[in-house]
Amino acid sequence: MKDKLQSNIWKFYVINLLTGLHFVVPIRIMYLLSFGLSYTQIGLMELGAAITIFILEIPSGIFADLVGRKASRIVAYVFSFSGFALMSISSTAPFFILGWALSGAADAFESGATDALIYDTLKGLGKQEEYAKLKSRLLLILTTVMIIGSITGAYLYVIDRRLPWYLFTGIIVLSFLLFLTVIEPKRTSEEKLVSKSIASFRQSLVVSLNNREVIELIIFTVLLALPMYLFGSLVSQPYFVSKGFTVSSLGYIFAFIVGISGFLASFSHVLDRRLKKKYSLFLIFISFTILMTLMGIVKTQYAILFVLGFYFIDSYKNIVMDAYINKLIDSESRASVLSVISFMKNTIAAVVFVGIGYLVDRYKIDTVLIGMGIAVSLIAIPITVSLNYAKKIHIKT
């Protein structure tokens, strides 16, 4: 069985390589604008995806824990293919909104299931302490291919605006075929009745969420997910244009930022091992505060350096916070707890997204970024102080 589980590792790497060829990322807004969509309609797309995730996040986590992480990921592939296929052929706002909502459904079924499957694979191999290291390596692979995908996507867009979407939809199919060969580790309780499974799920979930440190880590993770979510989904492209970059250079800019920050973040497990939890948390929120403030203050193209740091800290945050939380929750409710986190992120984002969009319309992007930097500091300080009084955690790698 261990030999079969070991084969999962290289498959995770290859799947990450395939899905990292995300040709549509640097040209998504331009693609939508080319069909006459307004920024309000693009905002509605994001809101539609957030609402879909809001509705499906918790049920998808329960589905992953009861039926299986692999089954949940397969459902995610079906939604992902449907969503991107629809985005590839649509020409009007309602269909684009529907397509993006379907991609949101895919995110809901994928979110907790994939990380739980990776962690349980390592646990089955007796290597769960290597979770952060594996996630760092997966990030390095993802970053490398995203550089290629970003630059290639911009050129494909010039040839035919639909071509990046066609090709990425095909890649989803290839990734799906490989994922079908992944082995799901056996869990401690098999052949359960649904009623008993739900009771077991509730008990393990309550135990996990009764841990004050788990709750505080979840709150910290959710709040610090919002800055990147809002910047990346709403203002990143107009922000770069406002700093003097041309639209045609956005693919190279994205490749540069994701490439450098992702490469640096691939060593997150090393940095976390040196800083340990206490100083890692301080580094995360202080860096977010300083970097977002500087992103708003600097008016020249040198602002890209602070955006680079912003992306690095966000990647570092994702890796170490995942490791801290996975360490504290039990296997039976792991996918569900992770889905609760994603659920909270998207619930808050669905509300905040509209508010931030209104502020961007009313004020300048720079002013909003400065305000967000200050807000992060005010919110994160008390949580960080509280966490540093909790039981000491350190993920050995």
Query: Domains in the chain, ordered, with CATH?
Result: 2-181+196-387 (1.20.1250.20)
pLDDT for 203 equals: 59
Neighbouring C-beta atoms of residue 139, cutoff 10 Å: 24
> Is the pTM here over 0.85, yes or no?
no
Quote the tokens at residue 129. Answer: 């302490």
- The C-alpha atoms of residue 226 and residue 220 are separated, in whole angstroms, by 11
- 230-247 confidence digits (pLDDT tens): 787 777 877 888 898 877
pLDDT value, residue 306: 93
pLDDT per residue as tens digits for the range 286-316: 888 899 999 999 999 999 999 999 988 888 8
Place of tokens 């319309």: 361
Q: For the segment 263-272, what is each residue's pLDDT rounded down to a tens digit?
A: 777 777 677 7
Residue range 138-186, pLDDT digits in tens: 877 887 888 888 888 888 888 899 999 999 999 999 999 999 998 888 7
Handedness of CA 24, 28, 31, 35 (dihedral sign): positive
pLDDT, residue 91, reads 93
Distance CA 163, CA 359 (A): 34
Mean model confidence pLDDT for the chain: 79
